[in-house]
């Protein structure tokens, strides 16, 4: 049999196979490979059997949803997440939402998913810190928490840290700045004071200094991995560098590559102000009157450019 005949035979077998006759467990495994959107918008409408299988709570142990700069779809995405929560029947273990969310939603999650072990919130600008703290207080099984680019104040962030003393993994990611006026160890100190059970800590873009790093190393004895990329106020020299190498199994340095991180790591506006402030200091800029006098009242209007 030549290659053409072999390919034709495979096509015939595939065409003749009844996918609806697959064992239930096999079909469930296939559906679990799909994302939340694919299941709710496509897979469940294939046939009645799949519609019923898509309601199986085992499919909804892990939920991951992302809204990519489409604010007009935020309400739709929230309704889809409520639907997914219903189907999980309280068995949700891991939730990852990005670009949407609300106080009502996060409280609903905490009320109906008390087995939750992993929670990731990224760019969730409509979730307030106080409500998140209330929700976290109900999630007694939570082991992993990630907050990436969530606009909480420094004080609120410290309160969040204090209410999660038993986390194994904590990720608090921001946009880093080289501006020395923004260096601050408050968050690092709160982590050192409260999170003694940590195994994995990611602080991309944090404003900590060497003192904050020392506090974490002193008070988090179980720490195995530490990610300090874009922590530009940490200066790893001498004994501190050696200590990190000896104490932390997987250590990411402040200037390590961020290719595997999907967000901007540097606040370029604050860095620009800091870097170029001296160059602009003392420069004389023309006032509007001086400009028009210099240009002989013949300034171009916007229409002259087109």
Q: Of 142, 141, 106, which is closest to residue 121 (Cα–Cα)?
A: 106
DSSP at 266: B
d(CA 270, CA 63): 36
Q: Which domains does the chain have, with CATH numbers?
A: 17-60 (1.20.1280.50), 61-305 (3.80.10.10)
Residue 250 burial (10 A CB sphere; 0-12, 13-18, 19+): exposed
State the distance between the two ends of the chain, measured CA to CA, in whole angstroms. 69
pLDDT band for position 19 (cuts 50, 70, 90): low
Token output for 219: 């008070």
| Choice between 279 and 264, residue whose per-residue pLDDT is larger | 264
Instruction: Provide the H-helix boundaries in the chain.
Output: 3-16, 24-32, 36-41, 48-53, 74-88, 103-112, 129-136, 154-162, 186-194, 210-219, 238-247, 268-280, 288-294
Q: Which of 36-50, 124-138, 143-157 has the lowest mean pLDDT?
A: 36-50
Q: Which of 9-13, 77-81, 190-194 has the lowest mean pLDDT?
A: 9-13
Query: Is 99 a residue whose pLDDT tops 80?
Result: yes
What is the model's pTM? 0.81
pLDDT given for residue 39 in this prediction: 94
Q: Which of 127-141, 168-182, 234-248, 282-296 has the lowest mean pLDDT?
A: 282-296
What's the average model confidence in pLDDT over 78-102? 96
Beta bridge partners of 21: none
Average pLDDT over all residues of the chain: 86
Share of the chain above pLDDT 70, in %: 80
Torsion of CA 34, 40, 46, 47, to 10 degrees: 120
d(CA 64, CA 269): 32
Residue-wise pLDDT for 166-181, tens only, equals: 999 999 999 999 999 9
Token output for 200: 């994995």
What's the average model confidence in pLDDT over 154-158? 96
Query: Is 71 a residue whose pLDDT tops 90?
Result: no
Three-point CA angle 287, 289, 293, nearest 5°: 115
Query: Is 245 a residue whose pLDDT tops 90?
Result: yes
Show Cβ contacts of residue 170 under 8 Å, excluding neighbours closer than 6 positions: 144, 145, 146, 161, 164, 191, 195, 198, 200, 201, 202
pLDDT band for position 70 (cuts 50, 70, 90): confident
Q: How far is CA 299 from the centre of its chain?
A: 48
pLDDT given for residue 25 in this prediction: 87
3-state secondary structure labels for all residues of 124-189 = CCCCCHHHHHHHHCCCCCCCEEEEECCCCCHHHHHHHHHCCCCCCEEEEECCECCCHHHCCCHHHH
Q: Which of 111-120, 158-167, 209-218, 277-286 has the lowest mean pLDDT?
A: 277-286
pLDDT given for residue 146 in this prediction: 98
What's the average model confidence in pLDDT over 207-211? 98
């Amino acid at each position: 049999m030549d290659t053409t005949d072999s390919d034709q035979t495979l096509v015939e077998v595939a065409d003749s196979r009844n996918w609806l006759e697959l064992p239930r467990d096999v079909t469930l495994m296939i559906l679990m490979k799909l994302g939340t959107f694919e299941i709710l918008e496509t897979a469940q409408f294939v046939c009645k059997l799949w519609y019923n299988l898509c309601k199986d709570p085992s499919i909804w142990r892990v939920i991951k949803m992302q809204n990519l700069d489409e604010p007009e779809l935020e309400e739709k995405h929230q309704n889809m997440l409520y639907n997914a929560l219903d189907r999980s029947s309280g068995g949700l273990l891991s939730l990852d939402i990005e670009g949407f969310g609300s106080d009502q939603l996060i409280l609903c999650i905490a009320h109906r998913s008390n087995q939750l072990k992993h929670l990731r919130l990224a760019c969730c600008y409509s979730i307030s810190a106080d409500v998140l703290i209330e929700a976290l207080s109900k999630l007694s099984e939570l082991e992993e928490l990630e907050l990436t680019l969530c606009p909480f104040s420094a004080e609120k962030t410290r309160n969040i840290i204090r209410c999660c003393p038993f986390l194994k993994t904590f990720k608090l990611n921001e946009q880093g700045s080289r501006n020395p006026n923004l260096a601050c160890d408050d968050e690092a100190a709160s982590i050192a004071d409260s999170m003694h059970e940590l195994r994995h800590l990611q602080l991309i873009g944090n404003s900590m200094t060497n003192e904050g790093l020392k506090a974490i190393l002193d008070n988090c004895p179980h720490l195995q991995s530490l990610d300090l990329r874009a922590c530009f106020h940490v200066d790893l020299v001498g004994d501190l560098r050696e200590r990190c190498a000896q104490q932390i199994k997987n250590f990411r340095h402040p200037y390590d590559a961020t290719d595997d991180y999907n967000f901007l790591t540097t606040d370029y506006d604050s860095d620009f102000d800091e870097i170029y402030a001296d160059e602009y200091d003392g420069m004389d800029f023309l006032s509007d009157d001086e400009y028009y006098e210099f240009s002989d009242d013949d300034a171009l209007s916007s229409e002259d450019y087109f």
